Structure 1
């Protein structure tokens, strides 16, 4: 039976897949399919892209608007970071974390399993399979597991997780051990996923192309080589392997405290809730009149890039409809802003600068509509995929779930907004 392994490198840019930095992944890309025009969803932040990968839906459809957001069906006054404790509470209080079924839910209907292990944020891990207690499968993370009862058994067998470090290689190695000794050989899931937090953590802390960033990339690549060697040595080399990143990257030009700015401009906390997301900001307004006034003010600022308005905000001159990026839906903000960006090279030679809500000038960031953040990695190799092929047609993270279902010979739900990437398949 066909099985699929998805390997995610958080924040990996296509420009980093070079023989001197990533020899294993470079060879994989040369021998398989390289998707040249692959894209995340906007905002180009991690947790909503994880949700889009497993639901095949844009943020408006799956209901996770950004890393930092408001869910009015949960608490209309709370700006929260989408991490496991809050997401679990949303599930308890509203009955659903995501507004669309995940790969795990769909596979469970066919008697199949999805198991994910990741060493990034707890929110990123949680959205892979929020209903594991009922739908089956598992999510494994240093802070928790789903089902929660699995954690003690894994710690008893594999030991405690290493402390987080820079680069976060010890945790990734621990995850690889659980993947190769437990998940694949014992659970035998139809789909397994492993998520590396690098090079994202190193790039946030030290900058894109910094010495620490390059070290993180090299060590992540070594881990990938270990996984591929294990697959070959254990008779599962015919697995279809997909390698993806959640977003690209930019270098911070200047940090902007947007919330303080709009408060100083007269927009109070009762009028506007502000959710900062690195290269983007979401605004939840009291009413459409406030949204219109705020939009006019934002568009007068040099750092304001593309500004998108939801249907609830109304037709605001100068804005684009949030539906253009699939962001409109039950949990959508009234306004979604990308900072301005450019293609200037940083000191290490990587393209792209943008403003950010956090971090520091010269460090790495993402979240905006910069073409350097909105172009990310997708590679594939295995018996179902063509060999030595470069695909130039547009693809996106929303295409991961439908492509996986196609590989497994399962029907793709009509409400998935992504597509199976048939042009990359042997019979496509």
Structure 2
């Protein structure tokens, strides 16, 4: 029986993988199967990506539509922040989880297989990755945990969790120890997921090639090297597969602004909760959500944003609230859900090199991220491209797979590896990881968007749509290629 160790490097850009900065990941990619066309979901945010990974469904299926969102039925006076367990549970409304699809652990349990999560990310993200841990009696630990039996178990075995820092190297290294020195030998899960918060933390707070970000990247890669060394020392090493992934990439943030303030200056009553003096609730992000008291003001908001040089095209949960052709439907991206914002704004990025020599920069709305820091959440090429490497076990050696893939295809591939069904998932097993004849380059297409923008996309073998990059069109815009 094959075992699987999944390692997530939060925020890792695939074009930053090289022999000098990430020697262990570079070696795994060279020796296993690397997916050249791996992508995130939209919005390309962590607490949208994590449930997409673990359920094999895009946001429109599982229902977590943003890191920060508004839900009047849960908290009419404020925004919900999904990094907080309390807000995640509030969205669940008394249920075990707000997710509307089963997680990997829930799919494994009926077959007697065990899943374990070790997370150096936020407590909210850990809850979304393994919402059924208590019910299933399986292992879920996060660096922010201080109470409960699992926190005590780890503390007794390895001591106190280090404090958070930038770079977050102490917590990344400690999480690696929890996996290698405690979970794998004591719990022996069939599938383990280690979520590392670097390089995301350091990319945000200083820039993609800042010295401390490079230190963090090396530290995360070193943890990966220790995991491989552990695997290779096991008597059943040939049956233990390693999957390395990132949940999104990063683009350099240039042109920080507050969309709520911009709307206020334009005369709209914008706020962070639907109070009596607020008509538009705005959730800050690289793709800010806008919830409207009266859908009738949508055309005026669209008109204002269309006049701003920093604004990209609009997306809408229901495009009928705007004149024809003024917004792209969220459903095209697999992101339309009852929790989705009425409108989702985007920012007009650029594919030219940033100050670090890396392609890509864009305006952003994030109060805590400094100008020049890394950012993600939108449709920029650098935000959507992800790392996906599968090595060991039955995976192909020394292969570069061309088939289109995103986060929702990873767990179906794991289930296929374990001989388990993945029915009901939107993603599908990536057979190119096992069989060269199953690999094929995706069909490419371009969708014309409002305001002189285009969306590059891929079509998988089953016709599934994979967005790849939004950017300004090279020539005058044509009629939108999507239907109302």
Q: TM-score range by the shorter chain?
A: over 0.9
Moved over 6 A (4+): none
- Spell out, residue by residue over 1:367-400, the C-alpha distance to the aligned partner (whole angstroms, 9 max, x if none): 1110111111111111221111101221101111
Aligned residue in 1 for 2:294? 287
The answer (yes or no) to whether the contact 2:89–2:97 under 8 Å persists in 1 is: no
Partner of 1:70: 70
In 2, Cα distance between equivalents of 1:207 and 1:248: 13
Give 1:260's aligned residue.
261
1:327 matched to 2:338: no
Match of 2:431 in 1: 422
Report how far residue 192 of structure 1 moved.
0.4
Q: CA deviation at 1:132?
A: 1.5
The Cα offsets for residues 47-88 of structure 1, whole Å up to 9 and x where unpaired, read as 110110001111121111111112344234431210222113
Deviations 1:163-203 (A, max 9, x none): 11232222122111111122122212221000111111111
Q: Does 1:41 align with 2:41?
A: yes
Gaps of 5+ in 1: none
Residue correspondence of structure 1 range 388-403 to structure 2 within 5 A: 388-403=398-413
Which runs of 5 or more residues in structure 2 are unaligned? Answer: 272-277, 439-484
Check if 1:354 corresponds to 2:354. no
CA distance in 2, matches of 1:211, 1:222: 17
> How big is the shift at 1:236?
4.3
Separation of aligned partners in 1, 2:68 and 2:156 = 34
Looking at structure 2, the residues matched to 237 and 301 of structure 1 have their Cα atoms a distance apart, in angstroms, of 56
Q: Say if 2:308 is the partner of 1:301.
A: yes
TM-score (norm 2): 0.84
The alignment of Structure 1 onto Structure 2 pairs a total of residues equal to: 425
1:114 — aligned with what?
115
Give the match's secondary structure for 2:129.
Answer: coil
Shift of 1:92: 4.9
Deviations 1:294-353 (A, max 9, x none): 223222221111311112764543110110111111211111122111112122211100
Please give the secondary structure, in 2, of the residue aligned with 1:417.
coil
SS in 2 for 1:254: strand
Match of 2:479 in 1: none
Q: Which has the higher contact order (CA 8 A, sep 6+)?
A: 1
d(CA) in 2 for partners of 1:347 and 1:284?
Answer: 35
Distance 2:71 2:190 in 1: 32
Distance, in Å, in 1 between the alignment partners of 2:434 and 2:72 is 41
**In 2: Cα distance, 1:276 partner to 1:261 partner:** 12
CA contact (8 A) 2:88 2:124 kept: yes
**1:413 shift after superposition:** 2.0
Aligned to 2:181: 181
Of 69-78 and 204-213, deviating more is 69-78
- Indicate the residue corresponding to 1:413 in structure 2: 423
* Correspondence for 2:281: 273
Supply the distance in 2 between the matched residues of 1:113 and 1:77 (Cα, whole angstroms). Answer: 40
Q: Which of these residues, 373, 377, 382, is aligned with residue 383 of structure 2?
A: 373
Deviations 1:83-135 (CA, angstroms, capped at 9, x unpaired): 22211333353553211111111112222221111111222211011121113
Matched, 1:171 2:171: yes
